[in-house]
Amino acid sequence: MGRFVQIRVTAATYNPEAAAAAFPRLYALAWPPDEDRPVEPRGLLELVPTLADRVRLGDPFPEREAMRTGLPPVVAARDGLETALANRDPRAADRFSYALEDALAELEKLAPRA
């Protein structure tokens, strides 16, 4: 690492369309189709904080309390992934990426139907 250049391991959702298809209810909650706010990229790492904000601060919806209980494992997995990346630990980042996808799959079950 140079004095001004930081070397960092990174992670990104390589196919956001496939991720949106895998988690349609979560994506619809995070980025409602009728909303005109351009947001790019729309990967899993961007999905988590957007969902957290919608669940905590957004308009009420019947599944909100259930989602509040399901959100901490998702946030913890994303935070773990970010920490592993910052520590340049690709093996740990890989483990957290699977944990994130698993936690999102569980949260998808709790999300409101579109």
Region 36-50: what's the mean pLDDT?
88
Is residue 77 a contact partner of residue 103, using CB atoms and an 8 Å limit? yes
- The answer to whether position 4 is within a domain reads no
- The answer to whether position 79 is within a domain reads yes
Supply the range of the domain harboring residue 62: 23-33+40-110
- The answer to whether position 12 is within a domain reads no
pLDDT of residue 48: 97
Region 89-105: what's the mean pLDDT?
96
Is residue 31 a contact partner of residue 39, using CB atoms and an 8 Å limit? yes
Residue 4 phi/psi, 5° resolution?
Answer: -120, -15
- The answer to whether position 91 is within a domain reads yes
pLDDT of residue 54: 92
pLDDT of residue 59: 85
**How many domains are there within the chain?**
1
Burial status of residue 53 (CB atoms within 10 A of its CB: 0-12, 13-18, 19 or more) = exposed
Region 36-61: what's the mean pLDDT?
89
- The answer to whether position 74 is within a domain reads yes
Q: What is the DSSP letter of 39?
A: -
